[in-house]
Amino acid sequence: MALLPILCFPDPKLHKVAKPVAAVDGRIQTLISDMFETMYEAKGIGLAATQVDVHERLIVMDVSEGRDTPLVLINPKLLWTSPETHLNEEGCLSVPGIYDGVQRHDRIKVEALDAQGQVRLIETDGLLAVCIQHEMDHLMGKVFVEYLSPLKRNRIKTKMLKAQREARA
Ligand code: NI
């Protein structure tokens, strides 16, 4: 197990589009363990491989109160989204300290492989549905701040760059 460095917005590597995972093998199992360790340590509810600079379609999540319900999605495909949407306050481990509203589908159906390489069908709503949509965006190279107005996004960019400069100083 190892903690992985998390890319921070506006790192251009966050905009790479992930490729499908070719095989759920030992390398992927190790990556899954490392991503869970990194996500729990950072107190996040979801982490996409893109955020740790691995550009393959893999997501780890845990939206439970007890932090004891890990969920792995490999090569996720959205099969259906509800026409109803609602505004959720979102944050992201790649944009620390920033929270803002994003419109998401209320209910979704997703097909993905689990950590054992078995096909899983997930139909869900609430926080898990929001989290899956947020993480699947990461795999497409999209960070949630891109839904915000250019003005807000630029303010966030300036704030992040300043924080990153100060952290290095
Ligand atoms: Ni995120």
Ligand 1 centre to CA of 134 (Å) is 6
Rounded-to-integer distance, Cα 115 and Cα 145, Å:
29
Task: State the catalytic residue, choosing from 65, 84, 123, 135.
Answer: 135
135 annotated active-site: yes
Q: What strand order describes the sheet that includes 119-125?
A: 46-48, 58-61, 71-81, 107-113, 119-125
* Tens digit of pLDDT at every position of the chain (169 positions): 799 999 999 999 999 999 999 999 999 999 999 999 999 999 999 999 999 999 999 999 999 999 999 999 999 999 999 999 999 999 999 999 999 999 999 999 999 999 999 999 999 999 999 999 999 999 999 999 999 999 999 999 999 999 999 998 8
Question: Are 69 and 128 a contacting pair, CB within 8 Å?
Answer: no
**Ligand 1 midpoint to CA 94 (Å):** 6
Q: Residue 166 Cα, ligand 1 centroid: separation in angstroms?
A: 22
Buried b (16+ CB within 10 A) or exposed e, 71-83: bbbbbbeeeebee
**pTM for this prediction:** 0.97
